[in-house]
Amino acid sequence: MNHTNQLNENFTNGQPITAIIVGAGHRSLLYASYASQYPDQLRIVGIVEPDPVRRQLTADKFGLTSECCFESVEQLVAGPRISEAAINGTMDHLHIQTTIPLLEAGYHVLLEKPIGTTEEEIYVLHQKAKEHNRIVMICHVLRYAPFYAEIRKRIEAGDIGEVVNIQTAEHVSYHHMAASFIRGKWNSKETCKSSMLMAKCCHDLDIISWMTGEIRPTRVSSFGGLMHFKAEHAPEGSGTRCLVDCKIEESCPYSAKKHYIEQGRWGFYVWENDYFGIAPTDEEKLDILRTSSPYGRCVWHCDNDVVDRQSVIVKFENGSTATHNMIGGASKPCRTLFIVGTKGEIQGTLEDGSFVVRHPDARAGHEFTEERVTVNVTNDSHGGGDLLLVNDFVRVLRGENPSISSTSLEKSVYGHLIGFSAECSRLENRIVEIRAL
């Protein structure tokens, strides 16, 4: 089944769900693009954005009048409710303080991950959603990627028996590491309030929790740190800015010029309002990287303090275990998954678009049987899950049953608690207990 057919499968006819965008950033606008592709299902009717330029650009993009444009959530909720839902794509540390007023005002919320930046915030939001009887769905888009969704269906069908162990890994590419976690907005926990594990891998930790079904994680241990991307490891000849005082820029794989101009990567982070189709000329880009842009800095001479590698071990209440390895600076980005059950195993790499299901085969001359399952993969960086998530959100708001991938708040909490506990374990060098929701 292709991506478009999946989006339209079993969708009932009727009036489109109305939504307001909160935070005109790359992710929220990507989710909102569903309204442009499927206007009979979703309609954007407002924007909350403190930056006047982005606010106006968003208004122009969706044909909004000035009465539907707001500087803050407080300004929005001071008046009557103007839509059924909100798409909240604000920065991590703003998620809770912007979502709670929306819930209190009667909005259902599609909330970008991570849910919040502390364990306590998760419990508070969960309670508020119950109190106001509002739907909160978390943007764990990997659940909707056909690769992971099909694996979850196989587990639920009993294909490999009871899950015994899950092994996941995310290899974060060198250019993504540089753009987001060394030079960019998530390079310091003090600034963004999220650890790299939570900012980058709460997807993966959610997958671990989801694949175990209703079985609760109970104990977590973790090790990691910032090992490579710091001044003492700077190569000889490096400077403070790639295009100003670096003698090895032409040969350096972390060259800002190579990443952001020649390769054209991560423009939606590097160039202001790039995702609105507004981009500087190449000469202007060079000048920006030479002077004011944090993305022009040497990766060994930044103010980054988040880890560049981390390993997590999880124990579940039934005795099963899981591990996750996050490695920053990999040559080839990928997410891998290996699940061993009592009757078989599943192994695959998201980017390959396929996985194998194996079962023991004790016949003479055999060891195991193997079935290769091919799934659809798109180029949206999350294996085709981004708009499938929005489709499910819309369907749920219209009273339909959620998909197997449902990322409702109550089903998305334990992956976050694994992440918070892992960071606590790493910093305090101890095993951390996870309390029940």
Report the amino acid identity of residue 338: F
Q: Judge contact between 40 and 14, C-beta under 8 A.
A: no
Instruction: Verify that 308 and 361 share a domain, yes or no.
Output: yes
Q: Does residue 275 lie in a domain region?
A: yes
Residue 93: give its domain's CATH number.
3.40.50.720
Q: Does residue 387 lie in a domain region?
A: no
Rg (CA), the chain: 22
Reduced to 3 states (helix: H, G, I; strand: E, B; else coil), residue 255 is coil
Instruction: Verify that 122 and 204 share a domain, yes or no.
Output: no
List, for residues 339-373, the tens digit of each pLDDT value.
Answer: 999 999 999 999 999 999 999 999 999 999 999 99
Instruction: Verify that 43 and 85 share a domain, yes or no.
Output: yes
Q: Which domain holds residue 241?
A: 231-296
Over residues 127-138, the mean pLDDT reads 96
Q: Does residue 393 lie in a domain region?
A: no
Instruction: Verify that 243 and 366 share a domain, yes or no.
Output: no
Reduced to 3 states (helix: H, G, I; strand: E, B; else coil), residue 173 is strand
pLDDT at 8: 43
Placement of tokens 């959100």 in the chain: 393
For the cut 80, the answer to whether the pLDDT of residue 154 exceeds it is yes
User: Taking CA 181 as the corner, what is the angle to CA 177 and CA 183, rounded to the nearest 5 degrees?
Assistant: 95
Determine if residue 237 is left, alpha or beta; phi over 0 gives left, psi from -120 to 50 gives alpha, anything else beta: left
Instruction: Verify that 291 and 407 share a domain, yes or no.
Output: no
Residue 378: give its domain's CATH number.
3.30.360.10
Instruction: Verify that 414 and 292 share a domain, yes or no.
Output: no
pTM value > 0.85: yes
Q: Of 139, 166, 182, which residue is a domain's last?
A: 139
For the cut 90, the answer to whether the pLDDT of residue 3 exceeds it is no
For 9-77, the DSSP string reads TTPPPSSPEEEEEES-SHHHHHHHHHHHH-TTTEEEEEEE-SSHHHHHHHHHHHT--GGGEESSHHHHH
For the cut 50, the answer to whether the pLDDT of residue 248 exceeds it is yes
List, for residues 10-42, the tens digit of each pLDDT value.
Answer: 344 478 999 999 999 999 999 999 999 999 999
Over residues 142-163, the mean pLDDT reads 96
- The number of distinct structural domains making up the chain is 3
For the cut 70, the answer to whether the pLDDT of residue 320 exceeds it is yes
Q: For all residues of the chain together, what is the average pLDDT?
A: 93
Q: Of 139, 155, 178, which residue is a domain's last?
A: 139
Residue 228's contacts (CB-CB under 8 Å, 6 or more residues apart) are 308, 329
Instruction: Verify that 325 and 257 share a domain, yes or no.
Output: no
Instruction: Verify that 427 and 349 share a domain, yes or no.
Output: yes
Q: Does residue 388 lie in a domain region?
A: no
Q: Of 254, 269, 296, which residue is a domain's last?
A: 296
Q: Does residue 390 lie in a domain region?
A: no
Alpha carbon of residue 42 to chain centroid: 22
Q: Does residue 320 lie in a domain region?
A: yes
For the cut 90, the answer to whether the pLDDT of residue 437 exceeds it is no
For 305-345, the DSSP string reads -S-SEEEEEEEETTS-EEEEEEEEEESS-EEEEEEEESS-E
Q: Does residue 395 lie in a domain region?
A: no
Over residues 254-264, the mean pLDDT reads 97
Instruction: Verify that 131 and 53 share a domain, yes or no.
Output: yes
Over residues 416-423, the mean pLDDT reads 96
Instruction: Verify that 94 and 57 share a domain, yes or no.
Output: yes
Q: b/e for 105-127, b at 16 or more Cβ within 10 A?
A: bebbbbbbbbbbbebebbeebbe
Cα–Cα distance for residue pair 384/393, rounded to 1 Å: 16
Which of the four pLDDT bands, split at 50, 70 and 90, describes residue 126? very high
Q: Does residue 394 lie in a domain region?
A: no
Instruction: Verify that 368 and 258 share a domain, yes or no.
Output: no
Instruction: Verify that 223 and 366 share a domain, yes or no.
Output: yes
